Amino acid sequence: MLVDINLLPKRDEKNIAFYVITILVVLLLTGASIFFIFSLNEKKDELQYLDKQITLNQTILDDQYAKLSQYESSSSIKELENAIKWVDEQPYNLVFILKQLTKSLPERGFRIDFEMNEENVITERVQFDTKSEAAYYLTSILKYPWIEEAVISEAKTAEILKDNSE
């Protein structure tokens, strides 16, 4: 009879599933920590970019405030305020005057220059095709009650060159 005597202790069979689960857990934790580290670095970079943008915007804002304070201290605002005050103090409405004088122009009459001085004297240069149109304009503007005097101070004629190729 044969007897098998084994003096070595019997080895425990270890479950391979335990090793697989342990490796998977370690890999999962490693992957999660790598993802967390990359996300953290990305957020740090984004935060640095936003800080740079804030400082850039702040410098631009400071420059604009400096320009604004320089502009406010300039005399252009005072000049504009004086011009507005002067317009408000004018006893005559220039828009109304220009509209009325334009209505009186004949069909082919053109205003070349218009000026009103401090004494409320209007000087204008007007172009007409004929002398009769100039006389018509003078007569029609004298009918306005707000015009005290109107004079033709100068009348010039100009030759219109015709094409001789006909």
Q: Are residues 51 and 95 in the same domain?
A: no
Q: What pLDDT does 79 receive?
A: 81
Q: What pLDDT does 164 receive?
A: 58
**Residue of higher predicted confidence among 10 and 161:** 10
Q: Are residues 21 and 43 in the same domain?
A: yes
In a domain, 34, yes or no: yes
In a domain, 49, yes or no: yes
Q: Are residues 49 and 70 in the same domain?
A: yes
Residue 101: Cβ within 10 Å count: 19
Q: Are residues 66 and 81 in the same domain?
A: yes
Token duo for residue 82:
């004086």
pLDDT above 90 coverage of the chain, percent:
27
- The residue written with tokens 């007409």 in the block is 128
Q: Are residues 97 and 124 in the same domain?
A: yes
Domain residue limits at 108? 90-142
Of the ranges 44-48, 62-66, 133-137, the best mean pLDDT one: 44-48
The answer to whether the CB of 41 falls within 8 A of the CB of 34 is: no
Q: Are residues 120 and 58 in the same domain?
A: no
Amino acid at 100: Q
pLDDT tens per residue across span 54-85: 999 999 999 999 888 877 666 777 888 888 88
In a domain, 164, yes or no: no
Q: Are residues 34 and 66 in the same domain?
A: yes
In a domain, 2, yes or no: no
Q: What pLDDT does 165 receive?
A: 54
Token duo for residue 107:
């069909």
Look at the chain and report how many structural domains it folds into.
2
Find the mean pLDDT for residues 108-137: 86
The answer to whether the CB of 112 falls within 8 A of the CB of 127 is: yes
pLDDT at 159 over 80: no
**Residue of higher predicted confidence among 66 and 119:** 66
pLDDT at 36 over 80: yes
Q: Are residues 21 and 85 in the same domain?
A: yes
Q: Are residues 125 and 66 in the same domain?
A: no
In a domain, 156, yes or no: no
Ranges 2-11, 25-34, 121-130: which has the least confidence:
2-11
Q: Are residues 70 and 114 in the same domain?
A: no
Q: Are residues 102 and 114 in the same domain?
A: yes
Q: Are residues 82 and 27 in the same domain?
A: yes
**Distance of alpha carbon 46 from alpha carbon 127, whole angstroms:** 70
Compute the mean pLDDT over every residue in the chain, rounded to the nearest whole number. 84
In a domain, 149, yes or no: no
Query: In sequence order, what DSSP letters do the residues of 16-50 get, joined into one string?
Result: HHHHHHHHHHHHHHHHHHHHHHHHHHHHHHHHHHH
**Residue of higher predicted confidence among 99 and 8:** 99
**Distance of alpha carbon 113 from alpha carbon 155, whole angstroms:** 15
Nearest alpha carbon to residue 134 among 165, 160, 164, 156: 156
In a domain, 134, yes or no: yes
pLDDT above 70 coverage of the chain, percent:
91
**Residue of higher predicted confidence among 96 and 29:** 29
